[in-house]
Structure 1
Amino acid sequence: MKIILDNIVFSLQKSGGISVVWYELLSRLFRDHFLISCIHYDNQNIFSTKLSYIEDKMINKGILRNPFVRYLNLRLPNEKEQFIFHSSYYRTSSNPLAINITTVHDFTYEYYNYGLSKWVHSLQKRRAIKRADYVICISEATKKDLLHFIPEFDEKKIKVIYNGVSDDYYKISTLSLKKNELPFPIRSYALFVGARDGYKNFSLAVKAIASSQLNLVIVGAPLSNEEKSFLKEHFEDMTRVFCTGRIDNVQLNVFYNCAYVLLYPSKYEGFGIPVLEAQKAGCPVIAYNASSIPEIIGDDSLLIHELSVDEIHRCLKILEDDIMRLQIINKGIINAQRFSWERMYDQVVELYHKAWNEKV
Structure 2
Amino acid sequence: MRIGIEAQRLFRPHKHGMDIVALELIRALQVLDHKNEYFIFVKPDEDKSCINETQNFKIVEISGANYVVWEQIMLPFYVRKYKLDLLHCTSNTAPLNLSTPLVLTLHDVIFMEKSTEKNTSTNYQKYGNLYRKWLVPKIVQKCKSIITISEVEKANITKTLGLKNDAVTVIHNGVSRRFGIKPNPETVKEIRTQLGLSEDYFLFLGNVEPRKNVKNTVKAFVDFAEKNPTVKLAITGLKETFIEDILNEINKKELLDRFVLTGFVDDITLLALYSEAKVFLYPSLREGFGLPILEAMAFGIPVVTSNISAMPEVAGDAAFMVNPYSIAEITAGMTVAYSNKQLRKEKINLGYGRPALFTWQKTAAKILAIYQSNGYDI
After TM superposition, is the score higher than 0.5?
yes
8 Å contact kept, 2:222–2:255:
no
Q: Whole-Å Cα distance in 1 between the matches of residues 330 and 276 of structure 2?
A: 19
Match of 1:207 in 2: 219
| More divergent stretch after superposition (160-169 vs 175-184) | 175-184
Q: Whole-Å Cα distance in 2 between the matches of residues 67 and 94 of structure 1?
A: 16
Q: Whole-Å Cα distance in 2 between the matches of residues 119 and 312 of structure 1?
A: 33
Alignment pair present for 1:38 and 2:51: no
Alignment pair present for 1:283 and 2:301: yes
- Name the aligned partner's letter for residue 291 of structure 1: S
- Name the aligned partner's letter for residue 360 of structure 2: W
Q: Whole-Å Cα distance in 2 between the matches of residues 180 and 12 of structure 1?
A: 26
Cα deviation for residue 313 of structure 1 reads 2.1
8 Å contact kept, 2:171–2:366:
yes
Q: Whole-Å Cα distance in 2 between the matches of residues 178 and 144 of structure 1?
A: 41
Cα deviation for residue 223 of structure 1 reads 0.6
Q: CA RMSD for the aligned pairs?
A: 3.0
Structure 2-normalised TM-score? Answer: 0.82
Q: Whole-Å Cα distance in 1 between the matches of residues 257 and 186 of structure 2?
A: 25
Cα deviation for residue 239 of structure 1 reads 2.6
Match of 1:159 in 2: 169
Q: Whole-Å Cα distance in 1 between the matches of residues 348 and 222 of structure 2?
A: 24
3-state SS of the aligned residue for 1:86? strand
Residue deviations 1:188-247 (CA, integer Å, cap 9, x gap): 22211142311111111111111222311112x251534334346534143321112222
Distance 1:19 1:175, change over 3 A: closer
Match of 1:22 in 2: 22
8 Å contact kept, 2:96–2:139:
no
Q: Whole-Å Cα distance in 2 between the matches of residues 20 and 65 of structure 1?
A: 23
Q: Whole-Å Cα distance in 2 between the matches of residues 311 and 268 of structure 1?
A: 17
Cα deviation for residue 110 of structure 1 reads 1.3
Q: Whole-Å Cα distance in 2 between the matches of residues 8 and 179 of structure 1?
A: 36
Alignment pair present for 1:321 and 2:340: yes
Distance 1:356 1:14, change over 3 A: farther
Cα deviation for residue 171 of structure 1 reads 6.2
In structure 2, list runs of 5 or more residues that go unmatched: 120-125
Residue deviations 1:107-141 (CA, integer Å, cap 9, x gap): 22112568765442122222222111001111111
Q: Whole-Å Cα distance in 2 between the matches of residues 59 and 175 of structure 1?
A: 39
Q: Whole-Å Cα distance in 2 between the matches of residues 226 and 178 of structure 1?
A: 27
8 Å contact kept, 1:8–1:87:
no
- Name the aligned partner's letter for residue 334 of structure 1: G
Q: 2:85 aligns with which of 75, 83, 86?
A: 83
Q: 2:327 aligns with which of 306, 309, 324?
A: 309
Cα deviation for residue 345 of structure 1 reads 0.9
Match of 2:147 in 1: 136
3-state SS of the aligned residue for 1:357? coil
Distance 1:7 1:301, change over 3 A: closer
Q: Whole-Å Cα distance in 1 between the matches of residues 3 and 189 of structure 2?
A: 49
Match of 2:366 in 1: 347
% same residue: 23
Match of 2:234 in 1: 217
Cα deviation for residue 94 of structure 1 reads 4.0
8 Å contact kept, 2:42–2:59:
yes
Q: Whole-Å Cα distance in 2 between the matches of residues 21 and 306 of structure 1?
A: 25
Q: Whole-Å Cα distance in 2 between the matches of residues 354 and 116 of structure 1?
A: 35
Cα deviation for residue 308 of structure 1 reads 1.9
